[in-house]
Structure 1
Amino acid sequence: MSDETSLIRFGVIADPQYADADPWAELDRHYRESPRKLREAITVLNNEDLSFVVTLGDLIDRDAKSFGDILPVYDALRHESFLMPGNHDFSIAPDLLAKVHETLGMPAPWHHFARNGFRFVVIDGNEVSLFSAPEGHPRRALAQQMLDTLLAEGAINAKPWNAGISDEQFSWLKSVLEKAKADGEKVIVMGHYPLFPENDHNLWNAQKLIDLFEQAGNVTAYLNGHNHVGNLGRHGSTWYVNFKGMVDTKDENSFAVVEIFADRIEITGHGREESRSLPL
C-alpha cells in the first residue's frame, strides 16, 4: 500500500457459498471450509481501516439452515457489513424465497448509500430469474421469456443459473446515476453477476447496463462475484472487476481490500485474489 491517502478503502468478499456438504471435486469447491476462511478474512479485515465490507453474493450453496451457520461468523466483523444474495442463496424452500433479502439484513433488494463522496449502488441481478420467485410468479414467466430469447440468439450467457434485472430496476438505476452525476458524485456499482468482458456467467441483460454506464460516464467501477475464477475488463471509463470465489480450493482463501485514489484503484488481494493497480 502507498503512503498516499486514499479517498476510500473497503473490503470485498465473494461467494463463501457455505453448505454442510461434501466437496464438489470437479469444481474444487469445499463448502465446509468457508466458515473458517471467512473467519480468517474477518481477522485480517478487522486490522484494516475500512469504511465497510461488502459480500458480493452466494453466502450459502443450498438449504436455508446454512444461513444460520454462516451469518453469525459476520458478528466478529468490526466494520459495517453489506450483504447481497447470489443465485445459490435462493436454493431454499419456495416459501422462504421472499425472505432472503430480509435474512441478509438488506434495506431493500436494490439500494444505494453514500460514503466519502462516493455513491455505492447495490443492484439485484437475481430479480428476474428461474429461482428467486416460486412457481407461478410473474417474474418466473418473464425470466423464461428472457432466457428463451437469449437461447434463440445463441448468447453464451443463456444459462438458467444466470438472471436479469427488470425495466423497473433499470429505470431506478438510471435515475440514481443521473442524480449522482448532478451532485458530482463518482459511483461504484456492486452486484452478484458479471457484466463485462463477455462470459457465460454474465447477467442476461448485461449489455444494457454496460451501455448505461458508458452513457452516464460517472461509474468508476462495477464489482461482482459469481464467476469463481475471476475476471477483469474495462469499457469506457468503467472498470469491471470480478472477484474470485472464497469457496474454491480446500486451503486457499480469497478476499480483497479496495482503495480508490484520485487517479487509480488499488486492489490488495489476499490468497487467490490478485492485487491490481487500475488507472482512472
Structure 2
Amino acid sequence: MSSSAVPLFRFGIIADPQYAAVAPHAAMDRYYANSLTKVAEAIEIFNGEELSFVMTLGDVIDRSFASFDDILPVYGKLRHEALFLLGNHDFSVSAGHLSEVAARLGMPSPYYSFSRHGWRFIVLDGNEVSTFAPLEGHPHRALAARLLAELQAKEAANAHHWNGALSDEQFAWLGNEIANAAAAGEKVIVINHYPVYPPGEHGMWDSERVVALLASQPHVIAYLNGHDHAGNYGKAGACHFVNFKGVVDTEKQNAFAIVEVHADSIEIRGFGREESRTLVYQAATGAGTSFHPAQACATLPSDPCNSCPSP
C-alpha cells in the first residue's frame, strides 16, 4: 500500500477499441460496433475524475479509414487531453491512407515523448518495421518481411504478420530518451501497442533488446501496452510490464483503467474486465537492480550483434 493516500497524478487507459461498423466475430468474441458505446462509458467515468490525460493504446479502429469518423467524435466528449499511439489495426486502411493515420489521430509524430509531474512518458511505434504500416517500397517493409521469415524459420512464438518491431533509429531514440530522463531526475513510463514481456505470440519481434534496455534502468518504472486482448503482467528488473485487456472483446463487458501514480507505487484501478493492480517501486532512482539481462543490442535481429540472442 502506498505511503500516500493522495496520488501525485492520475491518467486514464483504454486499449483496443477496434471499432468498425461491421457484424461481430462471434468465434473471437469481438463486437466491433459496440466499442462506440463502451468508449463513451469509459469517457463518462473519466470525466468524473481529475486526470492529466487519457491514453488509448492503439487499435482505435479495426478497419477502414472512415471508421475514424465514427469513433473520434466520441473522444470529443472527453474533458481531458486525449492521447493516442499506433496499433496494427489502425493501418487496416487503403494504401493511400497509410501515411495519414498518425495525423488523423492528432499525434505529433508516430513516436514521441512528453513529461508530466516529474515523469517522462515515452510513446513507441511498434509498427515502424512491419509488413503493413510502411508505404509500399519503403525499406522497412522489406526488412519486416525478412525478419518475419527468419522468425518463422525458427518457429518463434511471435512470428506473426500482425506483429512488428522498432527501427534501429527508434530504438536509439528510446535509449536517449531514457538517458535524458535520468539526467532530468524523471522517472519513466514507456507506452506501446505491443507487449514485450513476458514473451508470447503477441510480442514485438525485437522484444528481447527492448526488455534488456528497460530492465537495466532503475528509473524505468513501467511499460504499458495492449494488443494481447487477454491481458498479462510480468516484471523484469525494476520495470513492471502491464498488458491491458481489449475493449472490443465481449458483447457488453467493458475494460478500461485509471492509473494513479503515488510516491512509491502505481495503483491501477480496473473497470469491467480490467484487473486492478498495485505496482510497487523504489522512490529513489539510484538503486541497483537484481536483473542482469544480456546487453541491450542496438541492431535488429536481422543484423545481430554478439551480445544478445535473437528473439
Range class of TM-score, shorter chain: over 0.9
Is this contact kept in 2: 1:221–1:240, CA < 8 A?
Answer: yes
- Displacement of 1:215 in angstroms is 2.4
Alignment RMSD (CA, Å): 1.2
Where in structure 1 are there 5+ consecutive unaligned residues? Answer: none
After superposition, residues 122-141 of structure 1 pair within 5 angstroms as 122-141=123-142
| Residue 76 of structure 2 is aligned to residue 55 of structure 1 | no
After superposition, residues 1-280 of structure 1 pair within 5 angstroms as 4-280=5-281
Is this contact kept in 2: 1:52–1:80, CA < 8 A?
Answer: yes
Is this contact kept in 1: 2:122–2:191, CA < 8 A?
Answer: yes
Q: Which moved more, 1:168-177 or 1:134-143?
A: 134-143
SS at 2:113's partner residue? strand
Is this contact kept in 2: 1:178–1:216, CA < 8 A?
Answer: no
- Displacement of 1:212 in angstroms is 0.7
Is this contact kept in 1: 2:85–2:111, CA < 8 A?
Answer: no
Q: Of the two, which has the highest radius of gyration?
A: 2
- CA offsets, 1:131-176, max 9 Å, x none? 1023322111010111112122221001000000100000000000
TM-score, normalised by the number of residues in structure 2: 0.88
TM-score, normalised by the number of residues in structure 1: 0.98
SS at 1:147's partner residue? helix
- Displacement of 1:26 in angstroms is 0.9
SS at 2:159's partner residue? coil
Of Structure 1 and Structure 2, which has the larger fraction of its residues in helix? Answer: 1
Distance in 2 (alpha carbons) for counterparts of 1:14 and 1:185: 25
- Displacement of 1:41 in angstroms is 0.4
Distance in 2 (alpha carbons) for counterparts of 1:153 and 1:210: 20
Amino acid at match of 2:31: H
Distance in 2 (alpha carbons) for counterparts of 1:208 and 1:100: 27
Distance in 2 (alpha carbons) for counterparts of 1:166 and 1:227: 22
Identity of aligned residues (%): 54
- CA offsets, 1:76-114, max 9 Å, x none? 000011111200000000011001100110001111000
Which residue of structure 1 aligns with residue 291 of structure 2? none
SS at 2:197's partner residue? coil
- Displacement of 1:261 in angstroms is 1.3
Where in structure 2 are there 5+ consecutive unaligned residues? Answer: 282-311
